Amino acid sequence: MVFHLDVGPCDGHPVRRGQRTLARVSRMRPRGLHRLWLMGLLLAGPALAEDTRQLATLPLPAQETLRQEMLNNLIALNEILTLVATDKLKEAGAIAEQQLGLSAQGRHRDKPFEARPGPHMPPAMHALGMEGHRAASEFAKAAQAGERDRAQALLPNLTGACVNCHASWRIR
Ligand code: HEC
């Protein structure tokens, strides 16, 4: 009697019904189990892919400018690494200063306001950008002076600046 109260209204064969379900699962063909597994993975997907970076809301034209600048940053970085690897320090320094250093600041000054990324960045994000320019200029100075050991020691600061910002900010 108590048993019946616990399971609520039933057809009088709760145990047998449960057994039938179990039997059905164990008879499932591998493909069926596969589907279950896939479904679980899909459900877990959004939780795994959670993006913890902060969102900086930039107007669309500023987003476009930023992304173009980023692609150029990557090209510049690759050139710098290649030049350092082949001991062309002066050239590496020149590119670092022009493309990534303090000299590269303000290059969007003549664009319409909504196409300039800088003024739309939250101060903390902007500060990371500034840090990157400073790191590039510091490297550039050492490289252009032919200070090989110092330039090499400063090189990771260049990539470090990219990583620092990418790790904490997104624009979409
Ligand atoms: C001040 C922050 C900041 C710094 C510093 C920075 N980035 Fe970015 N970068 C971003 C943001 C924000 C995005 C866009 C992320 C998104 O799509 O939400 C981005 C995107 C990119 C992309 C992808 C562009 C595309 O087509 O979507 C590349 C490549 C890139 N950055 C390279 C670099 C390199 C190389 C450096 C260092 C030399 C660098 N970035 C430094 C903020 C930064």
Tokens of 126: 């902007």
Q: Is 29:23 a contact under the CB 8 Å cutoff? A: no
For the cut 70, the answer to whether the pLDDT of residue 15 exceeds it is no
136 CA closest ligand 1 atom index: 38
Q: Pseudo-torsion of CA 56, 58, 64, 68, nearest 10°?
A: -40
Taken in order 52, 53, 55, 58, the sign of the CA dihedral is negative
Q: Which two tokens stand for residue 125?
A: 């994000």
φ, ψ for residue 166, nearest 5 deg: -60, -30
23: alpha, beta or left? (left if phi > 0; alpha if psi -120 to 50): alpha
pTM for the full model?
0.78
Ligand 1 center–CA 3 separation, angstroms? 63
Whether residue 156 is predicted with pLDDT greater than 60 in this model: the reply is yes
Pocket test for ligand 1, best of 165, 170, 171, 172 (most atoms within 8 A of CB): 165
What residues flank ligand 1, with Cβ below 6 Å? 67, 70-71, 73-74, 77, 100, 125, 128-129, 132, 161-162, 165-166, 169-172
How large is the average pLDDT for residues 30-51?
Answer: 62
The pLDDT > 70 percentage for the chain reads 72
pLDDT at 2: 42
Share of the chain above pLDDT 90, in %: 71
More confidently predicted of 9 and 27:
27
Closest atom, ligand 1, to C-alpha of 164: 5
**pLDDT per position as a tens digit, 43-100:** 565 566 789 999 999 999 999 999 999 999 999 999 999 999 999 999 999 999 999 9
